[in-house]
């Protein structure tokens, strides 16, 4: 057993709701506490992952569960905020100062493209560089050029993820689209289409984490899920072309943020990609999943398109990816996305994922990657 | 380095300080500014005091090449959010990474028929003047197919 475990998870569906962020967050937090079988008053530290919420949102949300004097901290690391927040919870427990903590992700976002001034400089906005999908699209275009990856393969990833989401009550769309529908959906930024990208939305997800010792004292050994690794890094110099970059080196050869973070996580867990039974990865767009599968070591660089052609990333395949339907179907409430992935992985490892269940899943990996090359990888093990 | 300290109506300013070099009154002599590090050898976009790769301060400002090759591209099909200064009503446009012989790829609007966009397309730097709401002339940039 590792030193830090997940005792319980809770989630508010991702989508668009007529509720305040405080309501969304409090529902997810309360659900996680119920699932863990602990009271809010027992929690010794809490972390809120969020990007678009106002200051002290964590305290405002958790006040709804009752008054407290514990440390509640808001954490932001773009799309990897959830991993950065969980890491703080893990480190706090590992330090010995606390042994029971809550990590919550929550977001409430406006429709449409994200507010560019959060990320981009004014001159980039003026020149038209402030559309996030443009960056994903240029990566896709280059991959197609270098490796022969096709628009059909990209569409197949979107098809798989939308299809998986039909069985996920936490997903925004829960709707299967045919390959034709996907390939005929409007281009957003060539070659990426409307049904191949994720939308910003609302949602919340939470986990209760504890030291292994505290879990034993609570008699919660049986359902505890080990956190084998939780790593967060930002991309090295020019290792990642992602918003808001205005240029990239043509000569530096640093490994990408997913490679670096995954290696850290694999090393810490003492596992490799072949030991992982199921994956939830950042599919901000369908191409992104292809590239990340390569970076996580599911195949060699350039072979990502074959994974989908051969059905290897399907729920019944050798390396299932985005059983939940991914962000393409759930939407991306940025601060909540990684915690939402962990809710899915925990449910897989507990054998409670219903029609989405990966047979006999024992180890799962969750990955997020976003602005500034922020990347987080968490490996869970039962 | 060009500074925009005393900008006022009628004056010419770069779209961002430190991004362009050369006399703004002579567009044919304006180039993108770069930062070349004598320690690690990296050249990056824009004038800076510290190398963004190694953190060293042995850097010098250079003029980047005004020729490049399209390394990757997309077509922006929706009006970008925020204070986009392109045509109104919106017209889809090419956005690409232009590889320069200086060892870097620069993100830039590509001024050409979107059907002509192709990896490997030879491009040349194309600064231009845009009139701002307050009357200032802002020097912005794009790339266009070479010898057009």
Task: Give the ipTM of the model, two decimals please.
Answer: 0.93
Check: CB of residue B96 under 8 Å from CB of residue B117: yes
Supply the pLDDT for residue A112: 74
Instruction: Tell me whether residue B1 is in a domain.
Output: no
Among B19, B52, B71, beta carbon nearest to A142? B71
Taking only residues 115 to 134 of chain B, the set having a beta carbon closer than 8 angstroms to any beta carbon of chain A reads: 119
DSSP states of B83-111 as a string? S--S-SS---EEEEEEEETTTEEEEEEE-
Supply the pLDDT for residue B9: 58
From A134, which residue of chain B is nearest by alpha-carbon distance? B74
**pLDDT at A270 > cutoff 60:** yes
Tell me the CA distances in angstroms from A28 to A7, A8, A168, B14, B112, one per residue in order.
14, 11, 16, 49, 50
Supply the pLDDT for residue A242: 86
Q: Give the domain extent around B96.
A: 12-145
Beta carbons of B76 and A112 less than 8 Å apart:
no
The whole-number average pLDDT for the span A245-273 is: 96
Taking only residues 18 to 47 of chain B, the set having a beta carbon closer than 8 angstroms to any beta carbon of chain A reads: 19, 41-42, 44-46
- Compute the distance between CA of residue A10 and CA of residue B70 in angstroms, rounded to an integer: 47
Instruction: Tell me whether residue B6 is in a domain.
Output: no
Instruction: Tell me whether residue B139 is in a domain.
Output: yes
Instruction: Tell me whether residue B98 is in a domain.
Output: yes
Q: Could you give the angle at the alpha carbon of A259 between the alpha carbons of A87 and A262, nearest 5°?
A: 35
- Give the domains, in start order, of chain A with CATH numbers: 4-109+202-227 (3.40.47.10), 123-199+228-381 (3.40.47.10)
The whole-number average pLDDT for the span A259-273 is: 98
The whole-number average pLDDT for the span B106-131 is: 97
The whole-number average pLDDT for the span A62-88 is: 97
Give the distance, in angstroms, between the CA of residue A331 and the centroid of all CA atoms in the same chain. 11
Identify which of A13, A109, A6, A106 has the alpha carbon closest to the alpha carbon of residue A61: A106
Supply the pLDDT for residue A223: 86
Q: How confident is the model at residue A343 (pLDDT cuts 50, 70, 90)?
A: very high
Instruction: Tell me whether residue B4 is in a domain.
Output: no
**pLDDT at B7 > cutoff 70:** no
Number of domains in chain B: 1
- CB contacts of A133 in chain B (<8 Å) are 74
The whole-number average pLDDT for the span A325-350 is: 97
Q: Inform me whether the C-beta atom of residue B51 falls under 8 Å from chain A C-beta atoms.
A: no
Instruction: Tell me whether residue B2 is in a domain.
Output: no
Supply the pLDDT for residue B134: 85
Check: CB of residue B72 under 8 Å from CB of residue A190: no
Beta strands A100-107; A45-49: pairing state: parallel
Q: How confident is the model at residue A2 (pLDDT cuts 50, 70, 90)?
A: low
Beta carbons of B44 and A247 less than 8 Å apart:
yes
Instruction: Tell me whether residue B5 is in a domain.
Output: no
Q: pLDDT tens digits, residue range B59-118?
A: 999 999 999 999 999 999 999 989 999 999 999 999 999 999 999 999 999 999 999 999
**Residues of chain A with pLDDT > 90: what percent?**
93
Supply the pLDDT for residue B135: 87
Q: pLDDT tens digits, residue range A21-59?
A: 999 999 999 999 999 999 999 999 999 999 999 999 999
| CA pseudo-torsion sign A180, A185, A187, A188 | negative
**pLDDT at B2 > cutoff 70:** no
Beta carbons of A247 and B78 less than 8 Å apart:
no
- Compute the distance between CA of residue A203 and CA of residue A171 in angstroms, rounded to an integer: 10
DSSP states of A80-111 as a string? THHHHHHHHHHHHHHHTS-SEEEEEEEE---S
Q: pLDDT tens digits, residue range B74-89?
A: 999 999 989 999 999 9
- CB contacts of A250 in chain B (<8 Å) are 71, 99-100, 103-105
Beta strands A374-381; A225-234: pairing state: antiparallel
Supply the pLDDT for residue A1: 44
State the average pLDDT for chain B.
93
Q: pLDDT tens digits, residue range A190-235?
A: 999 999 999 999 999 999 999 999 999 999 877 899 999 999 999 9
Chosen from B18, B97, B103, B117 to mutate, greatest number of chain A CBs within 10 A: B97
Supply the pLDDT for residue A222: 79
Per DSSP, chain A holds a count of helices (H) and strands (E) of: 13, 12
């Amino acid at each position: 057993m590792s030193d830090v475990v997940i005792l319980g998870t809770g989630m508010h569906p991702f989508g668009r709701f007529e509720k305040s962020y405080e309501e969304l967050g409090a529902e997810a937090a309360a659900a996680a506490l119920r699932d863990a079988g602990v009271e809010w008053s027992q929690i010794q530290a809490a972390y809120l992952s969020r990007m678009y919420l106002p200051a002290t949102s964590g305290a405002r949300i958790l006040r709804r569960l009752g008054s407290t004097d514990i440390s509640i901290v808001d954490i932001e690391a773009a799309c990897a905020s959830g991993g950065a927040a969980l890491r703080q919870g893990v480190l706090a427990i590992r330090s010995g100062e606390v042994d029971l903590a809550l990590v919550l992700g929550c977001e409430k976002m406006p429709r449409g493209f994200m507010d560019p001034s959060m990320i981009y400089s004014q001159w980039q906005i003026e020149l038209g560089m402030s559309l996030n999908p443009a960056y994903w699209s240029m990566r896709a275009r280059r991959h197609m050029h270098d490796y022969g990856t096709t628009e059909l393969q990209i569409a197949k990833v979107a098809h798989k993820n939308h299809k998986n989401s039909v069985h996920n009550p936490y997903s925004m769309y829960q709707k299967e689209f045919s390959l034709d529908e996907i390939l005929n959906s409007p281009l957003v930024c060539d070659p990426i289409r409307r049904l191949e990208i994720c939308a910003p939305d609302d949602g919340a997800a939470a986990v209760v984490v504890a030291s292994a010792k505290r879990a034993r004292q609570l008699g919660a050994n049986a359902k505890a899920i080990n956190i084998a690794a939780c790593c967060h890094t930002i991309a090295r110099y020019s290792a990642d072309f992602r918003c808001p970059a205005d240029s990239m080196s043509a000569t530096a050869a640093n490994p990408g943020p997913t490679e670096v973070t995954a290696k850290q996580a694999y090393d810490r867990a003492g596992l490799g990609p072949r030991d992982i039974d199921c994956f939830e990865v950042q599919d901000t767009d369908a191409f992104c999943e292809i590239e990340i599968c390569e970076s996580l070591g599911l195949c060699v660089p350039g072979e990502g398109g074959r994974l989908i052609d051969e059905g290897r990333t399907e729920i019944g395949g050798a390396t299932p990816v985005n059983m939940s339907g991914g962000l393409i179907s759930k939407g991306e409430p940025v601060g909540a996305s990684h915690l939402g992935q962990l809710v899915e992985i925990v449910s897989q490892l507990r054998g409670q994922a219903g029609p989405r269940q990966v047979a006999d899943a024992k180890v799962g990996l969750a990955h997020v990657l976003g602005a500034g090359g922020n990347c987080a990888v968490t490996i869970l093990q039962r | 380095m060009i500074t925009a300290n005393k900008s006022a109506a009628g004056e010419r300013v770069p779209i961002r300080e430190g991004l362009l070099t050369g006399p703004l009154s002579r567009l044919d002599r304006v180039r993108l500014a770069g930062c070349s590090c004598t320690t690690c050898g990296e050249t990056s976009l824009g004038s800076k005091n510290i190398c963004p790769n190694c953190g060293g301060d042995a850097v010098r400002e250079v003029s980047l090449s005004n020729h490049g090759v399209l390394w990757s591209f997309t077509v922006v099909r929706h009006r970008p959010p925020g204070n986009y200064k392109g045509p109104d009503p919106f017209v889809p446009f090419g956005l690409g990474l232009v590889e320069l012989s200086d060892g870097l790829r620069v993100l830039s609007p590509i001024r050409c028929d979107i059907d002509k966009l192709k990896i490997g397309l030879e491009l040349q730097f194309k600064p231009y003047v845009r009139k701002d709401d307050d009357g200032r002339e802002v020097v912005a940039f794009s790339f266009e197919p070479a010898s057009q």
